[in-house]
Amino acid sequence: MSDHIRLDGRVAIVTGAGGGLGRAHALALAARGAAVVVNDLGTARDGAGASDSPAQRVVTEIESAGGRAVADASDIASPEGAQALVEAALSSFGRIDALVNNAGFLRDKSLARMDPADFEAVVRVHLTGSALMSRAVWPAMQAQGGGRIVMTTSAAGLYGNFGQSNYGAAKLGAIGLMNTLKLEGARHDIRVNAIAPVAATRMTEGTVPPEIVAATPPELVSPAVVLLCAQECPLNGAIVIAGGGYFALARMMESAGVTLQSTDVTPETVAKIIPRITDFTGAQGHDDAFAALGVALDAIARQN
């Protein structure tokens, strides 16, 4: 790793960059030399309305600091919108080196009370939008011989949060998307990671105490995003938790497991070994589905 990370000559797209985390990411990337495409529909916290003003304000901030940026108001949750954003980036700067999938909004309510349209709308932007944007930048990154994609996940997706079934499902879905794209992009040096921000933004307004707001500005998440966008970043398929100066890695883990004789597999025998199944001593993570399957098949072969 370089002692001083720079992104000179590189081009980054940041979705949902008109405010909050996206704005902080765009400013941080530009400060390190990247040309930035600032995408934002300018919607309200619940996704309603539209305005090109937020994206243009961020572009003005970047240009005032001596950087290069263009504003874009494409709807990244539609195939046409995602492609239009990519074409805008290529026509403005000629290449795409990094994509930060940050766009999203909230429509919180318990699942039993949630309108199905509100579930679908949140998943459409957070998850489908991330997939469509990743698909749209892929040919340019592949032709260049590499690129970096950053998904945005959340503790609500990794661990759950009351009233956010739509948001949580989308945010964990982004990890499933990342886990596959890290494999599909490896031979092209397209690395795909995820950021799990701990930050006070418009989306968390009114839900966290003032002292937490003061300690977790979006700007303290963006250094990790800059690193994940850098050519020299060694990570691929990582879930990086970042906020308030705190950094950690999250990973899905599998317990050591217990193997029963096939003739002894009943609900009752499984119930008896629950304490052993849930013992995470010797737990491990897996790099892909075949690795996880291999562990199970090896255990079965040994038992038989």
Range of the domain at 269: 262-303
Residues 156-170 have a mean pLDDT of: 95
Q: Which amino acid is at 157?
A: G
Statement to judge: residues 126 and 234 lie in one domain = yes
Residue 202 has pLDDT above 70, yes or no: no
Give 14-57 pLDDT, tens digit per residue. Answer: 999 999 999 999 999 999 999 999 999 976 555 565 557 899 99
Residue 285 lies inside a defined structural domain of this protein: yes
Assess whether 280 and 205 both reside in one domain. no
- 164 in the same domain as 85: yes
Residue predicted with more confidence, 49 or 129: 129
Question: In this structure, what DSSP letter does residue 61 have?
Answer: H
Given a cut of 80, is residue 1 above it in pLDDT? no
CA–CA distance, 123 with 100 (Å, rounded to integer): 17
> What CATH number is given to the structural domain containing 166?
3.40.50.720
pLDDT of residue 148: 98
Does 255 reside within a domain? no
Strands across the sheet containing 11-15: 69-72, 35-39, 11-15, 98-100, 147-152, 190-197, 239-243, 246-250
Q: pLDDT at residue 214 above 80?
A: no
> Which one, of 190, 191, 196, lies nearest residue 175 by Cα?
196
Does residue 203 carry a pLDDT above 70?
no
**Percent of the chain scored above 90 by pLDDT?**
79
The whole-angstrom separation of Cα 294 and Cα 164 is 34
Per-residue confidence (pLDDT) for residue 166, from 0 to 100: 97
Asked if 22 contacts 244 with a C-beta cutoff of 8 angstroms, the reply is no
Q: What confidence tens digit (pLDDT) does each residue in 71-121 have?
A: 999 999 999 999 999 999 999 999 999 999 999 999 999 999 999 999 999
Last residue of a domain, one of 208, 228, 250: 250
Q: What is the pTM of this model?
A: 0.91
One domain, residues 15 and 128: yes
Residue 5 lies in a domain: no
Instruction: Decide: helix, strand or coil at residue 100.
Output: strand
Torsion of CA 16, 65, 213, 163, to 10 degrees: 0
Same domain, 183 and 299: no
Rounded CA-CA distance 180/184 in Å is 6
Is the pLDDT score of 289 beyond 90?
A: no
**Residue 32 is assigned to a structural domain of this protein:** yes
Tell me the catalytic residues.
Answer: 167
In a domain, 1, yes or no: no
Label residue 138 by pLDDT band (50, 70, 90): very high
One domain for residues 27 and 138 = yes
Q: Is 59 within a domain?
A: yes
Q: Is residue 173 part of a domain?
A: yes
Residues constituting the chain: 304
Q: How many domains does the chain have?
A: 2
Task: Identify whether residues 213 and 297 lie together within a single domain.
Answer: no
Tell whether 35 and 117 lie within a shared domain.
yes
Beta strands 246-250; 239-243: pairing state: antiparallel
In a domain, 122, yes or no: yes
Residues 268 and 152 in one domain: no
